[in-house]
Amino acid sequence: MPLFLNNDEVDQLITMKDTMEALEILYREMGQGAAVTAPRSDVHTPTAAAANAEGPMAHYLKSMSGASPHFGTAALRFSSDIVAWRDSGGGMRREKLPLLPGQRWMGIILLFSSANGELLAVMNDGVLQRFRVGGANGVSTKYLARADAETVGLIGSGWQAGTQVLAVCEARKIKKIKVFSPTKANRENFARVTSAKVGIEIIPVDSYEAAAKDVDILITSTNSRQPFIGKWALREGLHISAMQRDEFDDEALLACQPLVLHTHSIENNVTSSALAHFERADFTLRDHPTARGIDWKSLPTLADLLAGRVKGRENDRQVTGFVNNLGMGAQFAAVGKKVYDAARAKGLGREVPGEWFTQDVHP
């Protein structure tokens, strides 16, 4: 029978070590052409929640899928959100609003067996997606950062930033992390809580520049939709690890050798014409802007790196970079199987009748 796992249960089962191990296997598989992932689909339509909104708002239906022969699984991940774009003064930032009862969000992963097509599990996606994002950046750090890297600058202190810390500490023996985010209370609380969790000194600082100064690894973990870090932040031997493609500017990214991309896939973005009045010269209503001076398709991917088709760091002077430009459904097939196996071994989750999801007619 299929297993239902909520975020609390996934959180008890998942580790960054397991996540990165699963992703390494997956990326090698992808580099060989065995594992596959489909481009993400983004659908934006009008929402009644925008009745009194000051800025752009939309209903956002997102889906992605992929499969891993190694793990014997396929996965479909989807979410249904109300999103708003806010002008923060330094650029546009997108927010997912918790408008469901109890101030909650909607996100689900369906994990299938590729042996017979059965549904193995239904999971909340919040914790697992957070770990697979951090894990992807962690794998890149393992293969691109200097072996002796021990200091980190982190920009961002939100939900995703915590797993970025777990991942960089899994990839390297980190001794100190500096963190900056615009709200002082947020960065101070993040430093206190996360430092206790990982056992490493985390120091809140007052600016981007302070976070980037004299570090071996610079991580961005924000919801920015406009670049805000330039070449000024780079120094010899640095590895930059971007959680979004809209955080470092073109000059900074193109200074990295190599600059590795997560995937060449781009979103299949479909937006209702009823939202066209929100669009202007400097803003399009989609998850990420695409007007950049970088030929993304020309860059090697993480799968290329792990399959050995491109070289990683060759000396301690290089500035290397990774851009986690887009998530992939196949990540949920790989990491989801790790979580599912752990749940079965530990007796966590609730079984639900398999016949709820099967039928006796063929569509």
13 half-sphere exposure, CB direction, 13 A CA radius: 24
What is the structure's pLDDT at 288? Answer: 62
What is the structure's pLDDT at 287? Answer: 61
Q: Does residue 348 belong to any structural domain of this protein?
A: no
Q: Which residue range forms the structural domain that includes residue 143?
A: 136-267+289-323
Which tokens sit at 242? 């971007």
The answer to whether the CB of 239 falls within 8 A of the CB of 321 is yes
Measured between alpha carbons, how far is 176 from 27 in angstroms, rounded to an integer? 29
The average pLDDT across 215-243 equals: 93
Which tokens sit at 144? 């691109």
What tens digit of pLDDT does each residue of 323-335 get? 999 999 999 999 9
pLDDT at 285 over 90: no
The continuous run of DSSP H or E covering 209 comes out as helix 208-212
Domain count, the chain: 1
Q: How confident is the model at residue 94 (pLDDT cuts 50, 70, 90)?
A: confident
Q: Which amino acid is at 340?
A: Y
The answer to whether the CB of 237 falls within 8 A of the CB of 172 is no
CATH, residue 239: 3.40.50.720
Q: Does residue 249 belong to any structural domain of this protein?
A: yes
Q: Does residue 75 belong to any structural domain of this protein?
A: no
Q: How confident is the model at residue 71 (pLDDT cuts 50, 70, 90)?
A: very high
Q: Does residue 237 belong to any structural domain of this protein?
A: yes
What is the structure's pLDDT at 48? Answer: 92
**Helical residues (DSSP H) of 14-50, grouped into ranges:** 16-31
Q: Does residue 45 belong to any structural domain of this protein?
A: no
Backbone angles phi, psi at 77, to 5 degrees: -115, 135
Q: Using alpha carbons only, what angle is made at residue 119 by residues 118 and 125, rounded to the nearest 5 degrees?
A: 155
What tens digit of pLDDT does each residue of 163-199 get? 999 999 999 999 999 999 999 999 999 999 999 999 9
Decide: helix, strand or coil at residue 168: helix
Measured between alpha carbons, how far is 238 from 224 in angstroms, rounded to an integer? 22
Task: Share the mean pLDDT of the chain.
Answer: 93
pLDDT at 90 over 60: no
Q: How far is CA 294 from CA 252, 283, 325, in A?
A: 11, 18, 12
What is the structure's pLDDT at 243? Answer: 93
The average pLDDT across 77-92 equals: 82
Backbone angles phi, psi at 157, to 5 degrees: -140, 25
The average pLDDT across 280-290 equals: 66
Q: Does residue 240 belong to any structural domain of this protein?
A: yes
pLDDT at 234 over 70: yes
